[in-house]
Amino acid sequence: MPEQDKWSRWLAETRFGGDEKAAERGLATLKRVRDTLLAKAGLEDGKVLLDVGAGEGLIAFGAVERVGASGRVIISDISEALLEHCREAAEKMGVLDRCSFVKASAEDLSPIENESVDVVATRSVLIYVDDKQRALKEFFRVLKPGGRTALFEPIDDHRLKDDSRYWSMRRLGATSEETAPIRDLLLRIAQFRGEMLPVNEAMINFNERDLVRMCVDAGFAGVHTEFYLDVWPNPPMRWETVMNSSGNPLIPTWGETLRQIFNDEELARYEKHMRPLIERGGNLARHQSSFTWAFKAPLPKNPLGAS
């Protein structure tokens, strides 16, 4: 078994903070994302789907039945550990003969031949890619004529500074009267997060309109995007779950972050005021995302239908 890397470690350990209930809720949401994405992917018997940045194979294994016994799924990732995980999962599911596994980045799919796949699918992959335009050109290259991409990406465009700051402060709890005694600590967290952001620049310097434009520039003949902006109360969460979780593989857990910022006294003061809010739930949070389907010529008669 390949050694764990930051990608496989995050999926296995810190994505949901080791909390089974949080994992159950999160995976249910991800499955709904997958089903929405694949519903307009044009999959049918005999099709070939390439899952770029497959992770644990959520998209790939959701597609394998849709392409039937004569179809095929190509699972690609930059992580050897995750490719091995997917290989073992495919064997357990009895679909290993319909899957192939490729180590490749989104920007360089050179192991995949020109015009060899019907669908290129990704979920939360381009947020880690600095050169998104190059990745989309690679997607275009490997697609057969009449093929399409199916892309899902979280949207957190920090170029919209006022909106970004508003929701960042809400996420930190800075708008609650209960956190007034620790407003100084919350402002220090906001400052620290701002200093960390350049590390994750690829996540915060684009929006759904940029993705549409980049698809057109990559050569696609048609693009359909759906943007979702939702504000819902956070569910009650265990304090330990939040402390042991991280938002993505490139950043430390929330507990590790706080220990970088605060001394023991400050950390205890922060927990005293924030723990009841987190464990009670109900704090409003913003969730932004986009689904994008881009079509390579010739366009199908019913682009957003099943075929």
Domain with 36 in it: what CATH number? 3.40.50.150
Tell me what pLDDT residue 197 has: 57
Is residue 252 one of the residues assigned to a domain? yes
Give, in order, the Cα–Cα distances in Å from 293 to each of 75, 145, 151, 171, 271.
Answer: 19, 15, 6, 30, 43
Q: Is a pLDDT exceeding 50 seen at residue 193?
A: yes
36, 291 contact by CB (below 8 A): yes
Give, in order, the Cα–Cα distances in Å from 43 to each of 16, 32, 40, 168, 307.
Answer: 31, 17, 8, 38, 7
Neighbours of 199 (CB within 10 A): 10
Q: Note whether 83 and 220 are same-domain residues.
A: yes
CA 219 remoteness from chain centre:
24
Task: Give the pLDDT confidence of 222-279 residue by residue, as tens digits.
Answer: 999 999 999 999 999 999 999 999 999 999 999 999 999 999 999 999 999 999 999 9
In this structure, of 16-20, 128-132, 195-199, the range with the lowest mean pLDDT score is: 195-199
Q: Note whether 112 and 260 are same-domain residues.
A: no
Q: Note whether 105 and 215 are same-domain residues.
A: yes
Is this prediction's pTM over 0.85?
yes
Higher pLDDT pick, 305 / 187: 187
Q: Note whether 258 and 149 are same-domain residues.
A: no
Q: How confident is the model at residue 307 (pLDDT cuts 50, 70, 90)?
A: very low
Please name the helix (run of DSSP H) or strand (run of DSSP E) that holds residue 289, with its range, or none: strand 284-295
Q: Note whether 103 and 246 are same-domain residues.
A: no
Q: Note whether 68 and 166 are same-domain residues.
A: no
Higher pLDDT pick, 195 / 222: 222
The token duo for 238 is: 């265990």
Is residue 33 one of the residues assigned to a domain? yes
Domains of the chain: total: 2
Q: How confident is the model at residue 164 (pLDDT cuts 50, 70, 90)?
A: confident
Tell me what pLDDT residue 301 has: 87
Tally the residues of the chain. Answer: 307
How do strand 284-295 and strand 222-233 relate by DSSP bridges? antiparallel
Q: Note whether 170 and 31 are same-domain residues.
A: no
Q: How confident is the model at residue 112 (pLDDT cuts 50, 70, 90)?
A: very high
Is residue 167 one of the residues assigned to a domain? yes
In terms of residue numbers, what domain contains 27?
6-155+206-231+285-295
Q: Note whether 99 and 188 are same-domain residues.
A: no
Task: Identify which of 289, 288, 293 has the alpha carbon closest to the alpha carbon of residue 304.
Answer: 293
Residue 199 makes CB contacts below 8 A (sequence gap 6+) with 250, 251
Neighbours of 66 (CB within 10 A): 19
Q: Note whether 211 and 249 are same-domain residues.
A: no
Tell me what pLDDT residue 131 has: 97
Q: Note whether 57 and 188 are same-domain residues.
A: no
Is residue 304 one of the residues assigned to a domain? no
